[in-house]
Amino acid sequence: MLRTGPTWSTFFFSRPNGRDKPETVVPSLVYQLCINCEPYKSIIASVLANDPHLLQKAISVQFRRLIIEPLSKLQADGHQSVRQPFVIVLDGLDECAGAQSQCQFIKLISETVRLKRDFPVLWLLCSRPEPHLKHAFSRIPECGREELSLDRESREDVTRFLRDKFTEIREENPYTTTPDWPPEAKFHVILRISSGHFQVATVVVNYVNDPIAQDPVKQLNTLVAFLEGAEKIGIDNPLAALDLIYTRILLSVGARLGSAQTLCNFLRLEQSMFYSALSRLHSVLRVPIPEDAYTNQLSFYHASFEDYLRDPIRSGKFVLEEDWAFEVAAKTYLEWYQVIIVSSKTATSEIAGERRLNKPTFLPGLTWSPAHLTESISSNLIEHVHTKVMSTFKWGLKYKSDKLLAQLRNVDFRPIPEPYRIVYPVRWILKHYPSEDIVRLEPSNDIDFQLLEYLKLLTNHASDVENANSLFRYLSQEEKPTWLETQIFKEFFFVGCNQRAALVLMTICGPTEECRFDILNAGNPPSDEQICEYQEWLDKYWKVS
């Protein structure tokens, strides 16, 4: 059926709401396009059927295979569904995780526009004017740019918003406010500080109407006095006021801060500790009530508060020290990982030739777990740990920690649920402790030699399996090197100590953009099914390379 209007596919980045992961962008856009274009949906179904692991590949590969090639095919076939261009919107690009990922989307789209001038998509990218993004856009002559600035109309909108909200607060608190509250002088201080910015005005309203403080008059007086004092020193830009408000909020908070229910259990925080720690932060955080804590997350009202906490110049003593956060997070993930292994009936099980952790029904040591939710909370926590225990080392790659190194010596690397994630702690070890024997190329004990025998079984005694010289070159670099795209190799290394050691085989078919990781466990030889599956994979990808 011919479309009568433009079809929109959108992705709105938002760090506070967890919509900042670059790997979710292409699948989300593709899903929306499939809903609105049946011929495109048929092509996508065929592509994914032929390559079930496509959504796990690099963003550039997904972009080409799932957006560029299918729409180009429809266009080449003269299909009526693409006679009118689609509109794809990426809003809040500056809140996408990582400046490199932000620039990657700009590059992918700009190259498409440059090389395929009649491509049936109109692109709209919206962002705050961050320097690296302004630079990236300035290098694209094919795109139009418009910078939106605050005007009189936006200032009037903020004024109406503040008056309406203060009226609501006054009506909700008739015994503590007077009919003429707030005083005009104090209201104009707030207007002047807000300077037409809704996010500043929203934080002010939330602070004044703090449900824990329950005293809007005192809250407003305290905030205005604080801001007037700051004005005497000087505020160099409107959003600097936002930092001052955040500072005032944090001055009334204790040192400890928790997370929502599953993460409370992860951090071993009790319910009372969680709500006590957050009691002064309701103006900047969405804090779920106990009845909703199982389903709702703790989140920022606005990403600017997260930005404030990360910037030591802006937040001073309240800065979030990432090296400390990484060490605490990684330590806790590894502790829970060991708890999960111990709680399993056996350390590993075999499903379709792949070794996995058995999933215990209940985890010991939960600190906030109603009886009817214990099983679900345990399941959520297990899934969370399986996903993050190894990839946390990707986030913390630049931070060294002797404590974590000592903890890794006791980690059981054999039952890792998703083998490819093992590259993250290995890369971290190679970067900071290259002489440590947790990761090694040569066998050092009887267990390692047993693992080599199992490797021969898995690879059918192939002569082209080597120790991981090329692989270690790859792992020593933070980003995927270009030379890897042309390589084909089977390389292995050992990771872990004593009975907890494992052999990791990485098989890369660079020209076909395929790779896989296999982890061998000295306690279990590879099954016939596992061997067969590996050989079938080689037949499909290795020989065509």
The DSSP result for 114-153, as a single string, is HH-TT-SEEEEE-----HHHHHHHHT-TTS--------HH
Q: What is the pLDDT along the chain (545 residues), one digit of tens a residue?
A: 444 556 788 898 887 667 888 999 999 999 999 988 999 999 999 999 998 888 888 899 999 999 999 999 999 998 888 888 999 999 989 889 888 899 999 999 999 998 888 899 999 999 887 888 888 888 887 777 777 655 666 778 889 999 999 999 999 888 888 989 999 999 988 888 777 778 788 888 888 888 767 788 988 888 888 777 666 545 555 556 666 666 766 665 543 333 357 767 887 888 888 888 888 888 788 888 888 887 777 888 777 788 888 888 888 888 888 899 899 999 999 999 988 888 875 444 554 444 455 667 788 888 888 888 888 888 888 888 888 889 899 888 889 999 999 999 999 988 887 788 888 899 899 889 988 999 998 999 999 999 999 999 999 887 878 776 766 666 655 555 444 555 677 889 999 998 889 999 988 876 666 778 899 988 889 999 999 999 988 888 776 54
Cβ atoms within 10 Å, residue 252: 12
C-alpha span between 174 and 157 (Å, rounded): 26
pLDDT at 286: 84
C-alpha span between 63 and 234 (Å, rounded): 47
pLDDT at 81: 85
pLDDT at 523: 82
Helix and strand counts by DSSP (H, E) for the chain: 23, 12
pLDDT at 255: 35
* Distance from chain centroid for Cα 132: 20
Q: Helix (H, G, I), strand (E, B), or coil: what is residue 77?
A: coil
Instruction: Say if residues 291 and 304 touch (Cβ distance below 8 Å).
Output: no
C-alpha span between 104 and 479 (Å, rounded): 13
C-alpha span between 441 and 462 (Å, rounded): 18
C-alpha span between 29 and 266 (Å, rounded): 33
Instruction: Say if residues 290 and 273 touch (Cβ distance below 8 Å).
Output: no
pLDDT at 400: 94
pLDDT at 277: 81
Cβ atoms within 10 Å, residue 35: 12
Number of residues assigned to the chain? 545
DSSP secondary structure letter of residue 525: P
pTM higher than the cut 0.85? no
